[in-house]
């Protein structure tokens, strides 16, 4: 199994969390990432911030706007990651970059090489036009960079098969159509059927996201056949609350992680 979730005990689901780079500010984010590493969170899906995402609800959109207002872009994110990633022991980072806002300006091979050189463990390209998928695949293979592929539970069998074939980091199965920030409203039978069908076409781990807000949600998804779950808006909202209240962002987010993680030792235990 991919290194993103291979260190998880086999009877427990993996955990990925989503954040926008720059929200919280990058120096604080470095401490958040070290905390996630101590707590053995498997994956941080870290977005290069971009505006007006059509798939995100207001919580993640506000987060991206705060980061953009602070001047955080691709250069700042890659420089930041190059400094932080060598110190991590468990946490893996999948960089999410939007095609229109972040990737389209440089050549695809040049962009992918920059991401790989920063030490990132995987790449997810948001909004990649289907006609350019082959070029992107060629570039990530040449760079030796694992790819996160995405599809919906309700996608056609052909779309799911294409995503399964592309995924080398993990396959992100979006539980339902709509925008992020709601609850886990997906039909459980449809989700289980999609997971079973994907399992026959890929050896990459399958992580389910959109609407995952609690440990109960994560356990439910694991029971349906998911290897891992992705927690997004619920965690970003805790960051937003901490920033608004002037609270300790790292401690606030640590408390949140303790409530959702299937396996989250204290930071002191993690160092034993």
User: CA of 259: how far to CAs of 27, 28, 36, 250, in Å?
Assistant: 24, 21, 13, 14
227 is catalytic: no
Catalytic residue among 56, 217, 227, 240: 56
Residues in CB range of 136: below 8 A, 6 or more apart: 108, 112, 125, 128, 147
Which SS3 state, helix, strand or coil, does residue 75 take? helix
Catalytic residue among 37, 45, 98, 217: 45
96: left (phi over 0), alpha (psi -120 to 50) or beta: beta
The closest alpha carbon to 46, from 239, 178, 206, 252, belongs to 239
45 is catalytic: yes
Which residue is it, tokens 């941080």?
44
The closest alpha carbon to 55, from 29, 92, 18, belongs to 18
Distance of alpha carbon 34 from alpha carbon 103, whole angstroms: 27
Give the residue numbers annotated as catalytic, written as ranges: 45, 56
């Amino acid at each position: 199994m991919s290194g993103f979730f291979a260190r998880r005990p086999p009877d427990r689901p993996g955990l990925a969390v989503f954040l926008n780079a720059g929200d919280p500010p990058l120096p604080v984010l470095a401490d958040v990432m070290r905390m996630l590493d101590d707590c053995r969170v498997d994956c941080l899906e870290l977005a290069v911030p971009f505006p007006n995402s059509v798939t995100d609800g207001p919580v993640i959109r506000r987060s991206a706007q705060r980061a953009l207002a602070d001047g955080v872009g691709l250069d700042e994110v890659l420089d930041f990651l190059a400094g932080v990633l060598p110190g991590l022991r468990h946490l893996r980072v999948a960089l999410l970059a939007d095609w229109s806002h972040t990737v389209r300006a440089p050549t695809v091979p040049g962009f992918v090489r920059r991401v790989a050189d920063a030490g990132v463990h995987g790449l997810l390209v948001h909004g990649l036009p289907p006609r350019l998928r082959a070029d992107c695949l060629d570039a990530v293979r040449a760079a030796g960079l694992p790819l996160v592929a995405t599809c919906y539970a309700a996608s056609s069998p052909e779309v799911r098969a294409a995503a399964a074939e592309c995924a080398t980091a993990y396959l992100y199965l979006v539980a339902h159509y709509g925008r992020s920030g709601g609850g886990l409203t997906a039909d459980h039978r449809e989700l289980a059927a999609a997971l079973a069908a994907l399992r026959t076409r890929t050896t990459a781990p399958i992580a389910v996201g959109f609407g995952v807000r609690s440990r109960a949600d994560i356990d439910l998804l694991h029971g349906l056949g998911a290897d891992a779950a992705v927690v997004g808006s619920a965690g970003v909202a805790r960051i937003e609350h901490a920033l608004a209240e002037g609270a300790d962002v790292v401690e606030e987010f640590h408390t949140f992680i303790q409530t959702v993680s299937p396996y989250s030792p204290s930071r002191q235990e993690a160092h034993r």
